[in-house]
């Protein structure tokens, strides 16, 4: 069901017994971090609670919707971006932001810096859950997140205008932070307990200057726990990563049946497909790696037959065990891009990617006999000579005709006098 804002959503959680209220006074450290680690161990019974990793390099805002526009085309609503990016609190008016190069805000920042400009941004904290869903969905660069939200809601998503930057922001958010990402300014950000289950190190990241903060009466701060999977981020990001991957692949390959990208933000993608011809599954698998999500996240793609459910791991393991031939079904593609938070590369940001073809092999085309070469007929040379002589006669006749025409043009007319 749709919710008007975060407060209505929390009221619903409360009625359903999924909201845990801690009434005693707690400390930011270590209480919230310890509670965060403890609550994830409740599994499916885990309630809503403020959450924080215990080894973070600082305090983070990590479930805010960050809104920005394309500096080169600010009036194109398709090129605006609503995304979720981690924000480290660096001071009263300063945040550090991590714009992963594959994400739209990184393109906005690059264009702004090329123009020698700061990039205006608005940060909405505490939103209607549908906003969190669309903000973490890997849409194409010119696709509008609010339009997707409206499609999911069944009516236009309510949007307000930020008072300082004029950016379109989610209506009803609890806190609205406005400012600019300062051009060409970088500071150390991190470490942070990431969705991979590892702590990322410190890196130089862009700096965001806060110029205005607006908020509702008694605002509610919403936080997201990331850490050793599975956590709530996997439940949030997994489904809305699968859907666009499926749609993008299906538009090019109607044979694709389902896409599972729910594990660790889709670092592994499992695709089931029918096969049009030999090598088809491998071709689909390599296409995954060049889609918007695949460029920065998918490191391994597993291809299975159409009768294998990619969400059923026992079935997938059966396909890997019985259909994958290591000598011919592994496609290794070196030097591919990957987000720098992925812990497995030898060099951050670059990795060798792998497509595993665990589909039933398609036999070679047997309509011809490729061991029996076509040879020239014995009479071919005789006919070659005949055709060459005929061609020579035709060429000679054409040349003679051309000569006659030239003589006629040079012959004087009867009434010409000298």
* pLDDT score recorded for residue 416: 46
Query: CATH number for the domain including 353?
Result: 3.40.1670.10
71: in domain: yes
262: in domain: yes
pLDDT tens sequence across 304-321: 999 999 999 999 999 999
- Which positions ≥6 away from 48 have C-beta within 8 Å? 10, 13, 18, 19, 20
Distance CA 14, CA 47 (A): 10
pLDDT of 365 > 60? The answer is no
Same domain, 68 and 105: yes
Same domain, 175 and 254: no
pTM above 0.75, yes or no: no
Same domain, 201 and 265: no
* pLDDT score recorded for residue 124: 97
How deeply is 192 buried, as exposed, middle or buried, from its count of CB atoms within 10 A (0-12, 13-18, 19+)?
Answer: buried
What's CA 247's distance to the chain center, in Å? 12
The neighbour count for residue 29, using CB atoms within 10 Å, is 12
Q: Which tokens in the block code for residue 301?
A: 């793609």
Same domain, 208 and 260: no
393: in domain: no
Q: Is 232 a catalytic residue?
A: no
Domain that holds residue 125: 6-215
Same domain, 83 and 202: yes
Per-residue confidence at 45, pLDDT binned at 50, 70, 90? Answer: low
> Which range, 172-181, 183-192, 258-267, is most confident?
172-181
Write down which residue in 156, 184, 215 finishes a domain: 215
Tokens 């891009």: give the residue. Answer: 337
370: in domain: no
Report the share of the chain in percent with pLDDT over 90.
Answer: 42
Q: How many domains does the chain have?
A: 2
36: in domain: yes
Q: Which tokens in the block code for residue 367?
A: 């309509």
* pLDDT score recorded for residue 43: 60
* pLDDT score recorded for residue 32: 67
What average pLDDT does the segment 11-20 reach?
84
What average pLDDT does the segment 95-100 reach?
88
pLDDT of 48 > 60? The answer is no
Same domain, 112 and 237: no
pLDDT tens sequence across 122-168: 999 999 989 988 888 888 888 899 999 999 888 999 999 999 999 99
* pLDDT score recorded for residue 238: 79
93: in domain: yes
Same domain, 149 and 253: no
Same domain, 45 and 176: yes
Whole-number Cα distances in Å, 22 to 29, 49, 64? 15, 9, 23
Distance CA 361, CA 380 (A): 42
* pLDDT score recorded for residue 51: 38
112: in domain: yes
Tokens 């014995």: give the residue. Answer: 378
Same domain, 134 and 191: yes
Write down which residue in 334, 358, 382 finishes a domain: 358
- Which positions ≥6 away from 258 have C-beta within 8 Å? 246, 271, 272, 309, 310, 311
Q: Quick one: DSSP state of residue 264?
A: G
Q: Which tokens in the block code for residue 349?
A: 């940001």
Same domain, 44 and 122: yes
Same domain, 14 and 84: yes
321: in domain: yes
Write down which residue in 313, 341, 358 finishes a domain: 358
Query: CATH number for the domain including 123?
Result: 2.30.110.10
pLDDT tens sequence across 98-115: 887 778 999 999 999 999
Q: Which of 113, 174, 194, 222 is catalytic?
A: 194
Task: Please give the torsion angle defined by the CA atoms of residues 240, 162, 124 and 119, in that order, rounded to the nearest 10 degrees.
Answer: 80
Give the lowest-confidence range in 254-258, 351-355, 399-403.
Answer: 399-403
Same domain, 13 and 146: yes
pLDDT of 409 > 70? The answer is no
What average pLDDT does the segment 254-279 reach?
90
Mean pLDDT of the chain: 84
């Amino acid at each position: 069901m749709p919710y008007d804002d975060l407060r209505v959503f929390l009221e619903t959680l409360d009625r359903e017994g999924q909201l845990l209220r801690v009434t005693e006074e707690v400390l930011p450290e270590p209480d919230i971090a310890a509670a965060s680690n403890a609550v994830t161990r409740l599994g499916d019974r885990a309630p809503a609670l403020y959450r924080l990793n215990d080894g973070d390099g600082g305090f983070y805002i990590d479930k805010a919707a960050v809104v920005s526009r394309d500096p080169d085309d600010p009036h194109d609503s398709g090129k605006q971006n609503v995304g979720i990016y981690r924000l480290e609190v660096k001071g009263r008016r300063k945040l550090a932001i991590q714009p992963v190069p594959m994400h739209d805000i990184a393109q906005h920042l690059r264009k702004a810096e090329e123009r020698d400009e700061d990039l205006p941004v608005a940060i909405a904290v505490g939103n209607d859950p549908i906003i969190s869903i669309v903000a973490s969905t890997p849409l194409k660069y010119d696709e509008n997140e609010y339009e997707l939200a409206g499609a999911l809601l069944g009516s236009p998503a309510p949007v307000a205008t930020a008072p300082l930057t004029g950016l379109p922001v989610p209506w009803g958010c609890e806190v609205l932070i406005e400012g600019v990402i300062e051009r060409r300014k970088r500071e150390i950000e991190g470490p942070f307990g990431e969705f991979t289950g590892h702590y990322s190190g410190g890196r130089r990241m862009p700096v965001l200057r806060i110029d205005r903060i607006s908020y509702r009466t008694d605002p509610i701060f919403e936080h997201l726990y990331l850490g050793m999977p599975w956590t709530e981020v996997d439940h949030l990001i997994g489904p809305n990563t699968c859907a666009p991957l499926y749609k993008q692949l299906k538009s090019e390959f109607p044979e694709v049946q389902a896409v599972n990208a729910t594990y660790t933000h889709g670092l592994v993608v499992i695709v089931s497909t029918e096969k049009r011809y030999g090598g088809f599954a491998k071709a689909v698998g390599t296409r995954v790696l060049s889609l918007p999500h695949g460029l920065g996240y998918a490191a391994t793609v597993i291809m299975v037959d159409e009768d294998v459910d990619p969400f059923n791991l026992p079935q997938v393991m059966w396909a890997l065990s019985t259909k994958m031939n290591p000598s011919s079904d592994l496609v290794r593609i070196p030097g591919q891009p990957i987000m720098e938070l992925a812990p497995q590369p030898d060099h951050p940001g670059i990795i060798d990617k792998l497509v595993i073809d665990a589909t039933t092999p398609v036999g070679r085309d047997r309509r011809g006999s490729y061991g029996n070469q076509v040879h020239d007929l014995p009479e071919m040379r005789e006919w070659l000579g005949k055709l060459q002589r005929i061609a020579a006669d035709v060429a000679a006749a054409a040349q003679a005709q051309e000569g006659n025409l030239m003589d006629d043009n040079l012959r004087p007319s009867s009434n010409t006098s000298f």
